[in-house]
């Protein structure tokens, strides 16, 4: 089995001890690489619920989830609420999110009793734009995403060993080869993508079946929702993520690209 850099925490002590002592990053040892390859192959034919059960049993309390409150993220929150409700879940609050997105946090709290933690950059939007002489999302969207999302995620996952992602392979070419379980070298974590082999239809079918709350902007043509300055509704026949950074060559914020 995996040779862990830090001895595993007793689950009975996790509530008080898990976040009091900073831990070193998880190292990609030969044993861990073998385990990742074995588990991603095994879990490929299982359900997202079984994948989350494995992930939480294997990595908790060092397992976390980042969510932008998209439909896939809402599905995973619903599943985690039943499987492992103590899993820490956070949102990267850039300061540019739609109000409808932020309102979903309160719906999650009311429905599931889960308080999604808002992780924010060191500067407010006003301070950030003043420092850079204007809106960075216009002049350099890659820099804006790095400063207000990627750097914040690095800080948010400090001490964690694994994180859940809600990406699907059919969302874009960049995500087409996403494994169920993989090594995220950018953040030195095991990355678990329970919905990697699901389709958009499966996601929305699950939402409908379980009456899961979702962002009302999806009913207005916003198939993929990020920050409001860089997101628009898609047109008939356009790709699901065509509304993100429209008019530029940019397709990802940087969280899921290696």
- Judged by average pLDDT, the poorest of 11-15, 24-28, 73-77, 177-181 is 11-15
Higher pLDDT among residues 6 and 185, named by residue: 185
Shortest CA distance to 228 belongs to which of 146, 131, 137, 140?
A: 137
In this predicted structure, what is the pLDDT of residue 16? 38
In this predicted structure, what is the pLDDT of residue 255? 62
Is 253 in the active site?
Answer: yes
What are 192-225's pLDDT values in tens digits?
A: 999 999 999 999 999 999 999 999 999 999 988 9
Mean pLDDT over residues 110-139, rounded? 96
Share of the chain above pLDDT 90, in %: 75
Look at residue 12 and tell me whether its pLDDT is greater than 70.
no
In this predicted structure, what is the pLDDT of residue 163? 96
What are 136-147's pLDDT values in tens digits?
A: 999 999 999 999
Q: Does domain 23-230 have CATH number 3.40.50.300?
A: no
In this predicted structure, what is the pLDDT of residue 179? 96
In this predicted structure, what is the pLDDT of residue 13? 46
In this predicted structure, what is the pLDDT of residue 106? 96
Token pair 């689950």 is at which residue?
Answer: 11
Higher pLDDT among residues 165 and 171, named by residue: 165
In this predicted structure, what is the pLDDT of residue 245? 74
- Judged by average pLDDT, the poorest of 10-14, 55-59, 135-139, 159-163 is 10-14
Rounded distance between C-alpha atoms, residue 230 and residue 243, angstroms: 8
Mean pLDDT over residues 167-172, rounded? 86
Q: Give me the catalytic one of 145, 227, 230, 253.
A: 253
What are 14-28's pLDDT values in tens digits?
A: 433 443 445 578 999
DSSP annotation string for the chain: ----SSPPPPGGGHHHHTTTS--PPPP--HHHHHHHHHHHHHHTTS-HHHHHHHHHHHHTTSEEEE----HHHHHHHHHHHHH-TTS-EEEE--S-B-HHHHHHHHHHHHHH----EEE--SS-HHHHHHHTTS-HHHH-HHHHHIIIIIHHHHHHTTT-SEEE----GGG-GGGTT--SEEEETTTTEEEE-TTTT--HHHHHHHHHHHT----GGGGGT-SS--BGGGB-PPPTT--TTTTBSTTSS----SSS--
The domain locations on the chain are: 23-230
């Amino acid at each position: 089995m995996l040779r862990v850099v830090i001895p595993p925490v007793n689950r009975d002590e996790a509530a008080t001890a898990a976040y009091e002592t900073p831990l070193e990053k998880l190292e990609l040892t030969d044993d861990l690489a073998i385990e990742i390859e074995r588990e991603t192959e095994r879990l490929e034919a299982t359900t997202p619920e079984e994948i989350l059960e494995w992930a939480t049993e294997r990595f908790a309390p060092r397992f976390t989830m980042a969510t932008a409150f998209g439909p896939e993220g809402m599905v995973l929150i619903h599943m985690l609420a039943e499987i492992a409700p103590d899993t820490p879940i956070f949102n990267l609050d850039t300061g540019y999110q739609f109000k409808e997105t932020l309102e979903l946090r309160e719906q999650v709290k009311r429905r599931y009793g889960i308080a999604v933690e808002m992780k924010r950059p060191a500067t407010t939007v006003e301070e950030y734009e003043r420092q850079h002489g204007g809106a960075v999302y216009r002049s350099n969207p890659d820099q804006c995403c790095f400063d207000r999302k990627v750097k914040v995620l690095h800080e948010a996952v400090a001490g964690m060993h694994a994180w859940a992602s809600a990406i699907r392979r059919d969302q874009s070419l960049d995500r087409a080869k996403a494994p169920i379980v993989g090594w995220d070298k950018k953040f030195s974590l095991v990355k678990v993508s329970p919905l990697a082999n699901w389709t958009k239809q499966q996601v929305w079918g699950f939402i409908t079946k379980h009456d899961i709350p979702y962002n009302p902007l999806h009913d207005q043509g916003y198939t993929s929702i990020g920050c409001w300055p860089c997101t628009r509704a898609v047109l008939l026949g356009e790709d699901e993520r065509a509304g993100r950074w429209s008019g530029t060559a940019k397709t990802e914020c940087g969280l899921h690209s290696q």
